[in-house]
Amino acid sequence: MYKRRLGKSNLEVSAIGLGCMGMSFGLGPAADKKEMISLIRSAVERGVTFFDTAEVYGPFTNEELVGEALSPIRDQVVIATKFGFKLDPNGRPGWLGLDSRPEHIKQVAKASLKRLRVDAIDLFYQHRVDPNVPIEDVAGAVKDLIREGKVKHFGLSEAAAQTIRRAHAVQPLTAIQSEYSLWWRRPEAEVLPACEELGIGFVPYSPLGKGFLTGKIDEDATFESSDLRSRLPRFAPEARKVNQALVDLLDRIAERKGSTPAQIALAWLLVQKPWIVPIPGTRKLERLDENIGSVKVELTSDDLREIEIALSKITVQGARYPEEMEKMTGR
Q: What is the pTM of this model?
A: 0.97
The residues that bridge with 82 in the sheet, in sequence order, are 125
Sign of CA dihedral 36, 42, 46, 50: positive
CA gap 134, 146 in Å, rounded:
19
pLDDT tens digits in sequence order for the chain, 331 residues long: 999 999 999 999 999 999 999 999 999 999 999 999 999 999 999 999 999 999 999 999 999 999 999 999 999 999 999 999 999 877 666 678 999 999 999 999 999 999 999 999 999 999 999 999 999 999 999 999 999 999 999 999 999 999 999 999 999 999 999 999 999 999 999 999 999 999 999 999 999 999 999 999 988 899 999 999 999 999 999 999 999 999 999 999 999 999 999 999 999 999 999 999 999 999 999 999 999 999 999 999 999 999 999 999 999 999 999 999 999 999 9
Least Cα distance to 218 among 186, 251, 181, 185 occurs for 251
DSSP 63-80: HHHHHHHHGGGGGG-EEE
42-48: long-range contacts, CB 8 A cutoff, minimum separation 24: 42/285, 42/288, 43/18, 43/288, 44/70, 44/73, 44/76, 44/77, 46/1, 46/288, 46/289, 46/292, 47/1, 47/14, 47/292, 48/1, 48/14, 48/16, 48/17, 48/18, 48/288, 48/292
Give pLDDT, residue 90: 72
Burial classification of residue 117, based on how many CB atoms lie within 10 Å of its CB (0-12 exposed, 13-18 middle, 19 or more buried): middle
Give pLDDT, residue 191: 98
Give the active site residues: 57
The count of other CB atoms within 10 Å of the CB of residue 72 is 11
Give the CATH number of domain 3-211+262-297: 3.20.20.100
User: Where along the chain do its domains lie?
Assistant: 3-211+262-297
